[in-house]
């Protein structure tokens, strides 16, 4: 055995390595293929070895051969083997080979999953890096699904080298496994602010790629990107971001307004051309999106055009090219500003660089006017003559036609000129665009009636000289033109001067070499011409011409009857018979012209290209319905051979055929001939019959025009388009002169003395009158055609699957273990509400504080417990996250990583990404400190909206907090705890803020708002009390509160109060006490006296705030009430501590007893019909806000939900904690809002209405 090893090893010493292979190939230039095939044989041998080094070497060589075009997929398994080597050297070779030749249908890929996973979690960062690089090239949907978790973990790797690779590869994962996008997105977003610039750039890169395809989903990131744009110095990142903004602005014009200024600054300041160019590009995009909105953006356009001109004038061809490219974008919306640079662009037409010429051509499209069209086209025609390559010439040709035909021939003043241009273009050799010219000819001839005579004359000449067009090669695309020429001549033959001559030209034997479809048109139109000739000869005493024409037809048509093309044959034989019949009649001197012309009577109108598609389906017609009941499957199978397909039969008959003897065959042939002879419709192809035609006299008599063809390209008789330019010039001058004369006369008459103003000014567009009054017939469309023009998107586009709403909270089903930081809730139906009610905890405030402590001791146990307790009201995604965490104990990395995520996200990003609308509305973005200092954010309304108990919300952050810090918790001291709380506090603020956003969203979901103006931010928190007597070193606390009814019990109200320490001292021993009234009582722990205060379950270090909740029992809820209360606390300094107190008033509005309850319109109607409700109404004057804002405000502040909204009228519903129904009907008309309300408790209703009134009077 050892011997074998030794021997193998020694053999291997003679193996070629990559260099040897390359050298060998270079030395075998003559028989390279043979040499390589021997090498491949060697490689196959090497791959059979056990030695991984040998295999790796072989795979490395294969990679080289793959580059040369050899398929190496047969070695896929060996590649996998090399990939799984433990040595980096081999692994790298394996992954390289895999990335070069693996693809989705490589079946061994599924074997790699575990190997890749292992490599991804390798302690060696380069193993991981190599695996990521390789995977990025061959990731499949399966791999993406299986590895998404692992890669996502790597996005938070300690090494930036791995992080940036992991971030980049996520894009590939998203493409293959779109479900991963939403769970991974928060982390991706977080990476936008990674400390490492490489990672940041990678994240920008990925999001830009994502956003490019589905920009609307990424609008909410605009503020973040804006910040990056103004702060980043990395040009790569800047370019990407600026490009991204270019894609976003069309969706959000307000964004554009915000961008203009920083972009203009960048344009002025940057020295990097690439950045400058992208800035200009995005400014253009902005301007396009704003095209109407902003009055003073002409400066920006000027700046852009100016900068682009500098680019175009640069000697660097690249800049020139890009300048022209960007210019063409401006052209679309601001043609005027580009037109002033016509000189420059025409100059570029002469550039030696084809790419630049093509770009300049694009620009020309928008620069033409009635005035300069002829001039420009003349210049282009010169280029056509000069152009060497056919591609460029074809491009020129299409551009000429594009330019002339744009917007319904808007700029053409002289169609004779255009026709002659088209005719001139037919002289282009080898162009592929014959059909384009043909369709233009047809279009112009059909739609411009005035031009027909001229067009027909031109076409007749073309037909006459058809041999020039067809040349010697048949494949020449230009002969398509003859199709148009023949049709025009035939259809409008009444304009022909010499129809007979044209008819003769159309029946020349050479025509038979043309493509079939053209021949068919020839034959058909020959018949039309024939009719015209007959008609012109009608009444003529001498009928020889008519008869000669018939004879000509009869002589020439058999040529077409023999055509291989079915249509030509069919038409020719039909017309031949017809002419024969006519000839007979002619010989009897019967007048036939009228009848023959009747065959082709009537005008053909142009039909719009999409007309067929636009024919609306008639009402009641179901195209998918069966006309007859479909036969059952078994039946159809039985019938198939019999009834539907005759294919089977010949099969059966063939053997029979062979049996038939010669005699029988001959007999049958005879019979068939007999039958054919008797059949008038069978065209005899026998040589004898042909002879008959040839023998018939008359051919010699037909005059054949001989044309001198010494100069092949100058078609005799065809007018040159150039002469029109001159003519036009003269005509215009004349016109101008006349006009001047008239004006002079007028002036003389008027003697107003305002002199020379009009005199020498250049003629304006309006001055140019078309040469002939042109009636451009519009294309016909079917009646009731739908105007919409739907472009179908490519259904195979992988990006379609990535069109995912990223702002929606994660749902339970979205399995990847990353939790979103946005605890918004999905709306629940009223049915679910019942469940939540019963599940809500009894004493939220106390419990939450207790729970906190418990959790710290035994978080797992408690988590389970609390989960059970609150299962139903918990956020769905939250649960999903936890389930996954629990379900994957074998992935410790994920577990420790996730909560981090959760904690970090809100603090870092939520503030900036507060709300796009808010950001766009130019309001200052609230920073952390601001927010905390001012009003302590908004209320957890959505919570109430969905009926969840209020304390579920603060629990979430706590949960995660506990998870993350669990290790620390064991030995932590009080202080640490406080710090944590501090963090928590801030976070909570953000949470609240989100909730306020959520409030807005909620109302959207309720159906009020659909892509209307954004809602202003709203808050339900109000200042409760603040210490104003500043006696002692700023120590004071303020309280803000939100009062919320608790559904759980008809008589409970929960008040959440945020305490904030504004001084530099420590606040502790806070006690909260309220003087109970008859109606309302603070719930105190059992055994406490009615006047005892409640201890606030936390202490406040300086600058920190926290929230506490207090439960009140309320007897009657129909009246608002105020409760007096006191907060006592100890202010602790380093050296002293003092006892302080703060008085406050709790205001329980009736609104706070209402609970947002969704209601369906049918239930709502029933409720109103029941008659139990008593009505009341209120009018609000001078409410100056959009209706949906108004509704949102009512929803938000007064806990209503919208039942239905029709235009400026909406019905709303809410329910009190004691089950009173409150229904509103809100109508608005010019600043006046009338609210009709119904409720089963009139006093409650009255108070609610008063409160609503007050809300609107405040704003």
Positions in 226-285 near another protein (CB under 8 A): 235-236, 239-240, 243, 273-274, 277-278
Helix, strand or coil, per DSSP, at residue 985:
helix
For residue 1125, what are the β-bridge partners? 1074, 1144
Go through 1077-1093 and write b for each residue having 16 or more CB atoms within 10 A of its CB, e for each that does not: eeebbbbbeeeeeeeeb
Task: Return the number of the residue (32 or 1236) whose C-beta is nearest another protein.
Answer: 32
For residues 139 and 177, what is the distance between their CA atoms, to the nearest angstrom? 10
Residues 543-562 that bind another protein (CB under 8 A): none
Answer whether 442's CB lies under 8 Å from 484's CB. Answer: yes
| Residue 40 is a binding residue for another protein (CB under 8 A) | no
What residues from 831 to 850 belong to the interface with another protein (CB under 8 A)? none
Compute the distance between CA of residue 4 and CA of residue 674 in angstroms, rounded to an integer: 89
Q: Which is nearer to another protein, 4 or 654 (CB)?
A: 4
Chain residues 739-768 in contact with another protein, contact rule CB under 8 A:
none
Nearer to another protein, 315 or 967 (CB): 315
Q: Is 64 in the site for another protein (CB under 8 A)?
A: yes
C-beta of 51 vs 1133, nearer to another protein: 51
In the shown chain, the binding pattern of residues 517 to 546 toward another protein, with x for contact by CB under 8 A and - for none, equals ------------------------------
Conformational region of residue 1011, where left means phi above 0, alpha means psi within -120 to 50, and beta covers everything else: left
Question: 426 is written with which tokens?
Answer: 């037919």
- Judged by CB under 8 A, the stretch of 202-210, 832-840, 942-950, 1090-1098 that binds another protein is 202-210
* Cβ-based nearer residue to another protein, 146 or 735: 146
Q: What is the C-alpha separation between 1095 and 1073, in angstroms, rounded?
A: 9
**Residue in 28, 32, 42, 51 binding another protein, rule: CB under 8 A:** 51
Please name which of 477, 572, 581 lies closest in space to residue 523, comparing C-alpha atoms: 572
Interface residue with another protein, options 90, 174, 415, 1072 (CB under 8 A): 90
The whole-angstrom separation of Cα 177 and Cα 180 is 6
The smaller minimum CB distance to another protein, of residues 19 and 888, is found at 19
Biggest CA–CA distance in the chain, Å, is 138
Of residues 429, 480, 968, 362, the one with CA closest to residue 713: 429
Q: Which is nearer to another protein, 115 or 133 (CB)?
A: 133
**φ, ψ dihedrals at 329, nearest 5°:** -75, -40
With CB under 8 A as the rule, give the number of residues binding another protein.
82
The tokens 């008063």 sit on which residue? 1250
List binders of another protein among 353-412 (CB under 8 A).
Answer: 353-356, 358
* Residue span 772-791 as binding mask against another protein, x where in contact by CB under 8 A, dash where not: --------------------
Please count the other Cβ atoms lying within 10 Å of the Cβ belonging to residue 1182. Answer: 10
User: How far apart are alpha carbons 557 and 563 in whole angstroms?
Assistant: 10
* Residue of 36, 56, 76, 445 that binds another protein (CB under 8 A): 56
Nearest CA to 408 among 762, 767, 775?
A: 775
Residues 182-201 that bind another protein (CB under 8 A): 198, 201
End-to-end Cα spacing for the chain = 94
Nearest approach, Cβ of 769 to another protein (angstroms)?
Answer: 40
Which listed residue (43, 169, 181, 327) binds another protein by CB under 8 A? 169
> What string of DSSP letters covers 1203-1239?
EEEETTEEEEEEEETT--EEEEEEEEETTEEEEEEEE
Overall size of the chain counted in residues = 1259
Rounded distance, CA 328 to CA 365, Å? 9
Q: Does 111 bind another protein (CB under 8 A)?
A: no
Give the nearer residue to another protein in terms of CB position, either 15 or 1204: 15
Nearer to another protein, 246 or 942 (CB): 246
Q: Contact between 89 and another protein (CB under 8 A)?
A: yes
Give min distance, CB of 334 to another protein, in A.
Answer: 21
Quote the least distance from Cβ 436 to another protein, whole Å. 19
Residue 165 makes contact with another protein by CB under 8 A: yes
Q: If we measure between CA atoms, which residue out of 664, 632, 539 comes closest to residue 592? A: 539
Q: Which of 36, 40, 57, 534 binds another protein (CB under 8 A)?
A: 57
- Choosing from 168, 348, 445, 559, the residue that interacts with another protein (CB under 8 A) is 168
Q: Is 212 in the site for another protein (CB under 8 A)?
A: yes
Give me the least distance between CB of 321 and another protein, in Å please: 4
HEC string of 604-628?
A: CCCECCCHHHHCCCCCCCCCCCCCC
Q: Which one of residues 113, 136, 372, 398 is an interface residue with another protein (CB under 8 A)? A: 136
Q: CA gyration radius for the chain?
A: 43
Q: Does 202 bind another protein (CB under 8 A)?
A: yes
Q: Closer CB to another protein, residue 392 or residue 1164?
A: 392
Which C-beta is closer to another protein: that of 53 or that of 781? 53
- For the beta sheet containing 1037-1046, the strands, ordered from the edge strand earlier in sequence to the opposite edge, are 1022-1026, 1037-1046, 1052-1061, 1105-1114, 1080-1082
Nearer to another protein, 357 or 859 (CB): 357
Query: According to CB under 8 A, which residues from 302 to 321 bind another protein?
Result: 317-318, 320-321
Residue 19 interacts with another protein (CB under 8 A)? Answer: yes
Binding mask of the shown chain, residues 1171 to 1210, with x at each position contacting another protein by CB under 8 A: ----------------------------------------
The least distance separating another protein from the CB of residue 405, rounded to whole angstroms, comes to 21
Would strands 1022-1026 and 1037-1046 be described as parallel, antiparallel, or unpaired?
A: antiparallel
**Of the candidate residues 76, 98, 131, 206, the single one contacting another protein (CB under 8 A):** 206
Q: How far is the CB of 172 from another protein (least distance, A)?
A: 5
Other CB atoms within a 10 A radius of the CB of residue 651 amount to: 9
HSE (side-chain half, CA atoms, 13 Å) at 874:
23
Query: 58 vs 1249, which CB is nearer to another protein?
Result: 58
Is 5 among the residues that bind another protein (CB under 8 A)? yes
Of the pair 355, 1138, the CB lying nearest another protein is at 355
CA 155 to chain centre: 28
Question: Of the ranges 57-65, 642-650, 728-736, 1164-1172, which one interacts with another protein (CB under 8 A)?
Answer: 57-65
Q: How far is the CB of 1055 from another protein (least distance, A)?
A: 53
If we measure between CA atoms, which residue out of 975, 966, 997 comes closest to residue 895? 966
Nearer to another protein, 72 or 1235 (CB): 72
In this complex, which beta carbon is closest to another protein, that of residue 239 or of residue 463?
A: 239
Kindly state whether residue 1213 participates in binding another protein, applying the rule CB under 8 A.
no
Among 4, 29, 30, 69, binds another protein (CB under 8 A): 69
Q: Please tell me whether residue 567 binds another protein under the rule CB under 8 A.
A: no
Q: Which helix (H) or strand (E) holds 7?
A: helix 2-13
Interacting residue with another protein among 87, 726, 857, 1141 (CB under 8 A):
87
Residues 319-348 that bind another protein (CB under 8 A): 320-322
Write b or e for each residue in 427-457: b if 16 or more Cβ atoms lie within 10 A of its Cβ, otherwise e: bbeebbbbebbbbbbbbbbbbbebbbebbbb
The angle subtended at Cα 226 by Cα 224 and Cα 228, nearest 5°, is: 70
Q: Which is nearer to another protein, 228 or 496 (CB)?
A: 228
Distance, CA of 129 to CA of 149 (rounded, Å): 16
Q: Does 13 bind another protein (CB under 8 A)?
A: yes
920-979 binders of another protein (CB under 8 A): none
């Amino acid at each position: 055995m050892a011997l074998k090893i030794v021997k193998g090893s020694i053999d291997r010493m003679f193996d070629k390595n990559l260099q040897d292979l390359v050298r060998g190939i270079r030395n075998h230039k003559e028989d390279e293929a043979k040499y390589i095939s021997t090498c491949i044989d060697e490689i196959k041998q090497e791959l059979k070895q056990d030695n991984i080094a040998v295999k790796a070497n072989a795979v490395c060589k294969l990679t080289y051969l793959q580059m040369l075009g050899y398929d190496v997929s047969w070695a896929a398994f060996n590649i996998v083997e090399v990939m799984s080597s433990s040595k980096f050297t081999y692994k790298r070779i394996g992954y390289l080979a895999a990335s070069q030749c693996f693809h989705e249908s490589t079946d061994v890929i599924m074997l790699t999953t575990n190997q890749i996973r292992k490599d991804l979690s390798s302690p060696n960062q380069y193993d991981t890096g190599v695996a990521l690089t390789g995977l990025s090239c061959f990731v499949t949907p399966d791999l993406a699904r299986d590895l998404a978790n692992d890669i996502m973990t790597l996005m938070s790797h300690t090494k930036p080298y791995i992080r940036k690779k992991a971030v980049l590869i996520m894009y590939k994962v998203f493409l293959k496994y779109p479900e991963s996008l939403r769970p991974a997105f928060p982390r991706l977003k977080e990476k936008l602010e990674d400390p490492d610039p490489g990672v940041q750039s990678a994240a920008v890169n990925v999001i830009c790629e994502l956003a490019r395809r589905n920009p609307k989903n990424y609008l909410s990131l605009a503020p973040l990107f804006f910040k990056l744009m103004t702060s980043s110095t990395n040009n790569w990142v800047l370019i990407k971001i600026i490009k991204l903004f270019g894609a976003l602005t069309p969706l959000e014009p307000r964004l554009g307004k915000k961008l203009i200024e920083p972009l203009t600054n960048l344009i002025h300041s940057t020295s990097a051309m690439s950045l400058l160019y992208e800035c200009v590009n995005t400014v253009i995009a902005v301007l396009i999106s704003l095209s109407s909105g902003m009055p003073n953006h002409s400066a920006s356009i000027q700046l852009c055009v100016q900068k682009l001109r500098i680019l175009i004038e640069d000697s660097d061809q690249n800049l020139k090219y890009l300048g022209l490219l960007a210019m063409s974008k401006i052209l679309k919306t601001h043609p005027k500003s580009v037109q002033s640079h016509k000189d420059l662009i025409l100059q570029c037409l002469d550039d030696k660089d084809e790419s630049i010429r093509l770009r300049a051509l694009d620009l020309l499209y928008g620069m033409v006017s009635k005035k300069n069209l002829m001039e420009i086209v003349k210049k282009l025609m010169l280029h056509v003559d000069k152009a060497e390559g056919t591609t460029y010439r074809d491009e020129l040709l299409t551009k000429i036609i594009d330019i002339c035909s744009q917007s319904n021939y808007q700029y053409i003043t002289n169609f004779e000129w255009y026709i002659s241009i088209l005719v001139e273009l037919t002289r282009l050799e080898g162009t592929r665009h014959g059909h384009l010219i043909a369709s233009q000819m047809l279009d112009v001839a059909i739609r411009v009636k005035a031009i027909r005579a001229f067009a027909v004359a031109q076409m007749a000449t073309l037909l006459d000289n058809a041999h020039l067009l067809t040349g010697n090669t048949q494949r020449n695309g230009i002969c398509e033109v003859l199709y148009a020429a023949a049709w025009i001549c035939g259809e409008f033959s009444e304009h022909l001067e010499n129809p007979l001559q044209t008819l003769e030209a159309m029946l020349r034997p050479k025509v038979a070499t043309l493509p079939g479809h053209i021949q068919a048109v020839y034959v058909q139109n020959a018949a039309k011409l024939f009719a015209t000739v007959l008609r012109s000869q009608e009444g003529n005493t001498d009928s020889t011409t008519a008869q000669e024409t018939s004879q000509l037809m009869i002589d020439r048509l058999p040529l077409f009857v023999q055509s291989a093309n079915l249509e030509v044959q069919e038409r020719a034989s039909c017309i031949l018979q017809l002419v024969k019949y006519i000839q007979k009649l002619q010989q009897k001197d019967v007048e036939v012209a009228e009848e023959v012309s009747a065959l082709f009577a009537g005008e053909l109108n142009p039909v719009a290209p999409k007309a067929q598609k636009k024919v609306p389906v008639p009402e009641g017609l179901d195209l998918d319905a069966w006309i007859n009941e479909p036969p059952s499957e078994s039946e159809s199978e039985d019938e198939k051979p019999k009834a539907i397909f005759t294919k089977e039969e010949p099969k059966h008959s063939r053997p029979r055929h062979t049996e038939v003897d010669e005699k029988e065959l001959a007999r049958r042939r005879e019979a068939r001939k007999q039958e054919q002879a008797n059949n008038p419709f069978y065209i005899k192809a026998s040589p004898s019959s042909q002879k008959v035609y040839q023998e018939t006299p008359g051919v010699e008599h037909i005059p054949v025009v001989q044309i001198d063809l010494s100069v092949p390209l100058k078609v005799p008789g065809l007018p040159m388009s150039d002469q029109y330019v001159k003519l036009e010039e003269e005509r215009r001058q004349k016109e101008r002169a006349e006009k001047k004369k008239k004006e002079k006369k007028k002036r003389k008459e008027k003697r107003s003395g305002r002199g020379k103003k009009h005199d020498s000014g250049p003629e304006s567009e309006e001055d140019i009158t078309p040469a002939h009054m042109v009636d451009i017939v519009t294309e016909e469309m079917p009646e009731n055609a739908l105007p919409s023009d739907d472009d179908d998107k490519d259904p195979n586009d992988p990006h379609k699957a990535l069109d995912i709403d990223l702002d929606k909270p994660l749902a339970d089903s979205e399995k990847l273990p990353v939790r979103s930081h946005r605890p918004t809730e999905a709306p629940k139906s009223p049915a679910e509400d019942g469940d939540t009610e019963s599940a809500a905890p009894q004493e939220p405030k106390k419990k939450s504080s207790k729970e906190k402590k418990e959790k710290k001791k035994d978080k797992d146990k408690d988590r389970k417990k609390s989960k059970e307790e609150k299962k139903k009201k918990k956020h769905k995604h939250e649960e999903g996250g936890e389930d996954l965490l629990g379900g994957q104990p074998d992935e410790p990395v994920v577990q420790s990583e996730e909560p981090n995520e959760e904690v970090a996200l809100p603090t870092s990003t939520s503030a900036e990404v507060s709300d796009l609308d808010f950001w766009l509305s130019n309001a200052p973005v609230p920073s952390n400190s601001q927010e905390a200092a001012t009003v302590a954010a908004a209320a957890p309304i959505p919570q109430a909206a969905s009926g969840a108990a209020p304390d579920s919300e603060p629990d979430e952050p706590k949960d995660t907090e506990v998870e993350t810090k669990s290790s620390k918790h064991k030995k932590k001291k009080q202080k640490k705890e406080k710090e944590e709380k501090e963090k928590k506090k801030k976070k909570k603020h953000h949470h609240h803020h989100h909730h306020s956003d959520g409030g807005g969203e909620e109302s959207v979901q309720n159906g009020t708002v659909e892509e209307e103006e954004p809602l202003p931010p709203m808050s339900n928190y109000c200042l409760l009390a603040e210490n104003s007597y500043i006696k002692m070193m700023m120590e004071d606390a303020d309280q803000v509160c939100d009062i919320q009814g608790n559904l759980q019990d008809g008589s409970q109200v929960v008040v959440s109060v945020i305490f904030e320490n504004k001084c530099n001292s420590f606040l502790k021993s806070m006690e909260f006490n309220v003087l109970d009234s008859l109606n309302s009582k603070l719930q105190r722990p059992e055994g406490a006296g009615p006047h005892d205060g409640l201890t606030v379950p936390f202490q406040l270090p300086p600058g920190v705030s926290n929230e506490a909740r207090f439960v009140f029992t309320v007897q009657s809820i129909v009246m608002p009430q105020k409760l007096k209360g006191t907060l006592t606390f100890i202010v602790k300094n380093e050296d002293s501590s003092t006892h302080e107190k703060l008085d406050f008033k709790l205001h329980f509005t009736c609104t706070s007893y209402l609970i947002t309850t969704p209601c369906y319109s049918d239930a709502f109607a029933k409720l109103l019909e029941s008659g139990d409700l008593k009505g009341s109404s209120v009018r609000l004057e001078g409410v100056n806000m959009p209706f949906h804002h108004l509704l949102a405000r009512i929803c938000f502040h007064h806990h209503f939900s919208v039942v239905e909204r029709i235009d400026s009228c909406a019905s709303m519903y809410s329910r009190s904690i004691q089950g009173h129904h409150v229904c509103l009907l809100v109508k608005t008309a010019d600043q006046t809002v009338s609210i009709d309300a119904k409720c089963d408790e009139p006093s409650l209703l009255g108070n609610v209405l008063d409160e609503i009134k007050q809300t609107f009077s405040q704003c």
